[in-house]
Structure 1
Amino acid sequence: MGNAELPAVLVDGKKTVETLLSTKNQTKTARLLRLSFDQVHGVMQRAVERGLNRRDDRHIHEHVCMDEKSIRRGHEYVSMLYDGDTGNVIEVEGGRTRKSVENLCSKALTEEQRAGVKTVCTDMWDAFIDGAKKYFPNASHCHDMYHCVTYLNDAVDKVRKREVRHFPELRHTKYLWLKDQSKYTTNDQARFNKLEDAEYEVSQAWKVKELFRDLLHLKYHGDMEAYGMLLRRMDDALQYNIEEINGVVFIFKRHLKGIVRAMVTGANNGKAERTNGSIQEIKTIGRGYGTAERYRIAILFFYGGLDIS
């Protein structure tokens, strides 16, 4: 049967999918194609269902990551399971409670697939830790250094916010302390040098964060070497006696095993984080999502690596 004989709804569906992939925006797609938002979302939903049905449930994802993403400002979240090797989102579940994580893991992969996972990366959220242990019993559970640096970035910014009350010159410097120095402009570098020389606590907190960042690029020959390097970094950090930094170091001490496992295996959520950034982009373009289920459909449509043809 030629294209001319296809029912109009199928032709429209194909065009809607192509337009969505181009605009990354349901509202804009609806306006361009003179459809309602619900019609566009319906096409996305059917495409995702089609893609999920086509997945090979015998495929083993050797490295997986679990993370969260806010639906909109506030405290509404979805939990996500990624393929750590590709960055594709395997499944999304509303909430980030233990029950949410259990639903996520059991829905995303079969028991045989979960048994085949070799490494699982999570942050230090208890629900993710418990889920990793329960549903991936044969995997090394890792807290990768990217997550560790994220905790330190948050601590650095808290120090800045505390000090800015007394030092107005620290206003509008947030991204100087968080930005990769290799991406500094000439003006950024000049401003940073001036602030660093003044020896604010935020500059000391920044130095601690950079010491831990260095651990990202090292190779380790075993657990003992990694333990030794990590413990030295934590001892150095505590010497500064900065409250916010001390709090992060104590968190690291409670999760030493997972951090060391990440350092030795090299497991990380780098590709998942890049996907996370892209998800943030569609959330910004779409100005948020009303429900966890609508958000799930959008995430899987754009970043699930699904065959939706």
Structure 2
Amino acid sequence: MQGKSDACLYSRFKNNRWTFILTHVQDLVLCHQDKEDSDEIVRNLNKKIEMKDLGDICYYLGIQMEWGGNGSFFINQKQKIMDLIEHLGLTEANVAEIPMEVGFFKDNETKEPLQDNSQYRTATGKLLYTSTVTRLGIAAVVGKLCRKVNAQTKKDWTAVKRIGRYLKGTADLKLMLPANSNSRLVDYMDANWSECREDRKSTSGNLFYYGGGVISWTSKKQSVVALSSIEAKYISAAQACQEATWLYRLLLDFGINEPKPTRMHEDNKSCILLSQPERVTPQTMQIDTKYHCVRDAQQQGSLG
């Protein structure tokens, strides 16, 4: 059966056992609870298309995977990072302790534009993939530098190289996905109000845990200008609500009926009160209707 949340995910529940297939172009990842089930699927697929069994998964789409104890596993992109370091010419460079210089975006000094942006585009693209898949620690700074692809400066290019030097020193870090029978979906959210000095738009940040491991994260510039920190955090909550809804459906595709409500952590009391239907004031009426999905989800018991 094709997944409702992801068209590339297929599942089968037979003889009280689950089998999953994840597809990407011509590559398949097959997960099973019983090897007999996977062997049966492979035999049936071989009747339709020619396939080659590569054994237990250890490398997929640039992601290295290692099995841990008790069903947990680790993922990293060390090979991708080393390729990036070579692309940036940082093989012999010193490592950086943090991914970005403190106060980098507060500098109003006129900066010299970068004439050739081909390397910049390629490097930020590689960094974006890495920050999306395994290295959440650089997601915020990479997102900011990606905004400069059409008007980057030499200082921005230096910042890209600094991230490369940081990754060089932390290339061996791995993201752990532990196995936990008492797993619950939990979200932490925040927003940096009026952060962008060019258009005063805010940046949303969301982090989802499941079973004690991080499974989803976002650092994204908001599409509208928030008139207050409360509004910026409320918009961030709306984005987290959309992600939580998708993750809930994804868990259903895996045969997991996630209990509701999904626990969402927000540190602004006014933002929390704003999600209640009776909290409508002249100061909050300008908030776009689409962001009130938070209020709707809370009334339905999906969020808590």
Of Structure 1 and Structure 2, which has the larger fraction of its residues in strand? 2
Richer in helix (by share): 1
Same fold (TM over 0.5): no
